[in-house]
């Protein structure tokens, strides 16, 4: 009788001392670029009772993964209520991501895809068989991390730009959809403080070798941003010229000579439209008085060179000119050329003392469309249109030419201007 009692006690103790059933999770883990994952998996769980009645207490374990090889044995998760494992992947010295496992009972090894499940909601996160919810204070550092994050303010609303208010909370910016946001969280119409640029501005003024005063299309802001180029050579402020507002004055010794090209680049303090642009206003590319001729063969009496990179498709160039004929013994012929393409060619009588005209070049994606009109003291009004295939990307020259039919008279280019309209 004593022997039977002892044997029964030993058997009962063996039952309680038996190791819980374990499921092997074995897999090869890869990164998205095809390389094998190397790192550490931290697997944690809350207390639960296994399917074979073993009491599993809250704890965690770490598993090292080398060259993607993962092998770990875990107690199968109970199903009612569900017992979840929280798996944190660590690599390169930081947490990469976290996922949730629900381990089935299996005599054969299972893969990660067989145990991975969607993260449970707060309503069904329990400690397995314990049935108690996980509190924020149960997670180490969670309360402090949440306290370090800004809260929603009273003016917070979805679908709006957020800013941090004076209390450190997140509020939403109010205003119209077209408004611009300021750094203090206020909003208002755009453009009040935009920055614009003026490039390739041709200062207005007569280039005759004696005039030293020229005028820019706008006022540089800041003044130090002004860069003046003469025939492509940068001029030194204070040495070659001085600038006040939009006025540029060259020193007498450096007065621009006939044929010189002046260009200026600078910043503007603001733009009413709020859109920065290279050419916010029409710009004078060339202007002044030309030369005269008494030759009976065609001679150049003026020219305007537009540098490379100035003209763009969609621009328009307006050309205006005035001719003066001195004498009554000879008629004359005059011509305006857009590179190699004549814009107009007309002949005046000996009684034509004055002639005027204008031409327009509409810059296209390739080439230009040219139109012109002219008339004189007795020269009747005439207009025409033509096309040009001359390339403008590398720069283009506008030439004014003229000649007399016989010697004795003088034909002069009294005035001309070339304006780029954006």
User: What span, in angstroms and rounded, lies between the C-alpha atoms of 51 and 17?
Assistant: 15
User: What span, in angstroms and rounded, lies between the C-alpha atoms of 306 and 310?
Assistant: 7
Question: pLDDT tens digits, residue range 44-66?
Answer: 998 888 888 888 999 999 999 99
What is the Cβ-side half-sphere exposure of residue 292, based on CA atoms within 13 angstroms? Answer: 10
CATH 2.60.120, the chain: domain bounds: 284-421
CATH 2.60.40, the chain: domain bounds: 17-142
Other CB atoms within a 10 A radius of the CB of residue 81 amount to 16
Residue-level pLDDT at 285: 86
Look-up: residue for tokens 């044995």?
73
Per-residue DSSP letter, 76: P
Residue-level pLDDT at 191: 55
User: What span, in angstroms and rounded, lies between the C-alpha atoms of 315 and 51?
Assistant: 82
Record the pTM.
0.39
Q: Would you place residue 148 in the very low, low, confident or very high pLDDT band (cuts 50, 70, 90)? A: confident
Torsion of CA 223, 200, 398, 412, to 10 degrees: 0
Residue-level pLDDT at 127: 43
Please tell me which residue, 9 or 49, carries the higher pLDDT value.
49
Spacing of C-alpha 315 from chain mean position: 23
Q: Minimal CA–CA distance to 348: which of 320, 385, 374, 321?
A: 374
State the CATH architecture for 284-421. Sandwich (2.60)
Indicate the fold that domain 17-142 takes in CATH: Immunoglobulin-like (2.60.40)
The β-bridge partners of 233 are: 230
For the purposes of burial, counting CB atoms within 10 Å of the CB of 369, is it exposed (0-12), middle (13-18) or buried (19 or more)?
middle
Mean of the per-residue pLDDT values for the chain?
Answer: 85
Question: pLDDT tens digits, residue range 100-147?
Answer: 999 999 999 999 999 999 877 654 544 444 445 677 777 888 888 888
């Amino acid at each position: 009788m004593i022997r039977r009692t002892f044997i029964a006690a030993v058997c009962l103790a063996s039952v309680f001392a038996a190791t819980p059933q374990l499921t092997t999770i074995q897999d090869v883990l890869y990164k998205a670029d095809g390389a094998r994952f190397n790192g550490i998996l931290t697997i944690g769980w809350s207390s639960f009772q296994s399917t074979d009645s073993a009491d599993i207490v809250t704890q965690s374990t770490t598993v090292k993964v080398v060259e993607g090889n993962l092998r770990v044995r875990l107690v199968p998760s109970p199903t009612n209520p569900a017992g979840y494992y929280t798996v944190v992947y660590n690599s390169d010295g930081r947490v990469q991501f976290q996922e949730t496992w629900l381990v089935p009972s299996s005599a054969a090894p299972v893969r990660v895809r067989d145990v991975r499940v969607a993260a449970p909601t707060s309503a069904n996160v329990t400690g397995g068989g314990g049935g108690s919810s996980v509190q924020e204070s149960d997670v180490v550092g969670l309360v402090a991390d949440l306290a370090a994050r800004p809260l929603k303010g009273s003016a917070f609303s979805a679908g709006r730009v957020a800013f941090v208010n004076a209390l450190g909370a997140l509020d939403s910016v109010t205003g119209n959809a077209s408004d611009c946001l300021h750094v203090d969280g206020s909003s208002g119409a755009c453009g009040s403080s935009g920055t614009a640029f003026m490039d390739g501005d041709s200062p207005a003024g007569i280039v005759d070798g004696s005039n030293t005063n020229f005028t820019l299309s706008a006022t540089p802001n800041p003044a130090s941003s002004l860069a003046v180029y003469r025939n492509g050579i940068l001029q030194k402020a204070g040495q070659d010229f001085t600038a006040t507002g939009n006025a540029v004055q060259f020193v007498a010794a450096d007065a621009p000579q006939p044929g010189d090209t002046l260009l200026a680049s600078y910043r503007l303090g603001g733009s009413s439209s709020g859109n920065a642009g290279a050419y916010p206003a029409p710009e004078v590319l060339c202007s002044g008085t030309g030369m005269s001729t008494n030759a009976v063969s065609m001679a150049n009496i003026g020219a305007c060179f537009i540098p490379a990179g100035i003209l763009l498709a969609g621009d328009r160039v307006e050309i205006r000119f005035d001719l003066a004929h001195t004498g009554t013994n000879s008629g004359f012929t005059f011509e305006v050329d857009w590179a190699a393409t004549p814009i107009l060619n007309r002949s005046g009588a000996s009684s034509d003392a004055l002639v005027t005209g204008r031409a327009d070049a509409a810059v296209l994606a390739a080439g230009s469309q040219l139109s012109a009109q002219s008339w004189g003291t007795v020269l009747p009004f005439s207009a025409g249109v033509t096309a040009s295939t001359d390339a403008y990307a590398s720069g283009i020259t506008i030439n004014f030419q003229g000649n007399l039919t016989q010697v004795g008279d003088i034909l002069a280019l009294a005035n001309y201007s070339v304006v780029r309209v954006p």
